[in-house]
């Protein structure tokens, strides 16, 4: 364990990220960053994901002077197009139609930052997800559950959305929103070893 129990803060309102981080046994607080994700056109996906996570970490670090901040940002890329969160059922339906029968990349950028000295490490993780070909009724039914709204790419792989996925290549937790293995390796560099 780390020497001085510096508080750990997850800079995210995401239930999924909270659940994943809880698996480590670490005690942590949750503080939303309040940062609105902006997709910077022309920026390579992994770099954009790291930038967005750094912005979230910095926003929380500005208010918390002696903490380890963990921040992440997840989005999807299909045919060079960025898909963020579906804000409503119409957007969700359009995203599902775009993903139907095709592979896409889920990219999560993450940052761990020590707010006492500004030290930070950012990384990114990429998982390839293959969707089955979805019927119109199937997409409509899934959208009506309400699950796709607020999710990157309009699906939750850890929920009902699992039925839409044919296979994945890479880290499952990355698709949910926090690449656990990579994050734990980074936390070790800050003296935090939960396992």
Per residue, the 3-state secondary structure of the chain, as one string, reads CCCCCCEEEECCCCHHHHHHHHCCCCCCEECCCCCCCCCCCCCCHHHHHHHHHHHHHHHHHCCCCCEEEEEEEEEEEECCEEECEECCHHHHHHHHHHHCCCEEEEEEEEEEEECCCCCEEEEEEEEEEEECCCCHHHHHHHHHCCCCECCECCCCCCCHHHHHEEEEECCHHHHHCCCHHHHHHHHHCCCCCCC
Find, among 107, 109, 89, 110, the residue nearest to 154 by Cα: 89
- Judge whether 73 counts as a catalytic residue: yes
Give CA angle at 139 (137, 144), nearest 5°.
Answer: 95
pLDDT at 33: 87
Residue 162 confidence (pLDDT) above 60: yes
* Mean pLDDT value of segment 61-72: 95
Indicate if the pLDDT at residue 12 is higher than 70. yes
pLDDT of residue 4: 54
Percent of the chain with pLDDT over 90: 82
CATH 3.90.950.10 fits 7-188, yes or no: yes
Contact 130, 162 (CB under 8 A): no
Tell which wins on pLDDT, 2 or 29: 29
Q: What pLDDT shows up at residue 40? A: 64
Give the whole-angstrom CA distance, residue 159 versus residue 139.
Answer: 15
State the catalytic residue, choosing from 66, 73, 140, 171: 73
Q: Give me the pLDDT at residue 6, please.
A: 86
Q: Say what the pTM is.
A: 0.89
């Amino acid at each position: 364990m780390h020497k001085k129990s510096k508080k750990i803060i997850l800079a995210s309102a995401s239930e999924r990220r909270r659940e994943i981080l809880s698996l480590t046994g670490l005690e942590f607080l949750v503080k939303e960053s309040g940062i609105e994700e902006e997709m910077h056109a022309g920026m390579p996906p992994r770099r954009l994901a790291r930038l967005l996570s750094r912005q979230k970490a910095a926003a929380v670090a500005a208010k918390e002077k002696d903490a380890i901040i963990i921040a992440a940002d997840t989005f999807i890329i299909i045919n060079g197009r960025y898909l963020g969160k579906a804000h409503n059922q119409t957007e969700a339906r359009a995203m599902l139609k775009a993903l139907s029968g095709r592979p896409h990349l889920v990219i999560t950028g993450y940052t761990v930052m020590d707010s006492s000295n500004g030290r930070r490490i950012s990384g990114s993780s990429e998982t390839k997800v293959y969707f089955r070909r979805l019927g119109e009724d199937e997409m409509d039914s899934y959208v009506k559950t309400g699950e796709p709204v607020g999710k990157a790419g309009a699906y939750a792989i850890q929920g009902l959305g699992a039925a839409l996925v044919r296979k994945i290549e890479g880290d499952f937790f990355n698709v949910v929103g926090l690449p656990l293995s990579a994050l734990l390796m980074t936390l070790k560099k800050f003296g935090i070893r939960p396992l």
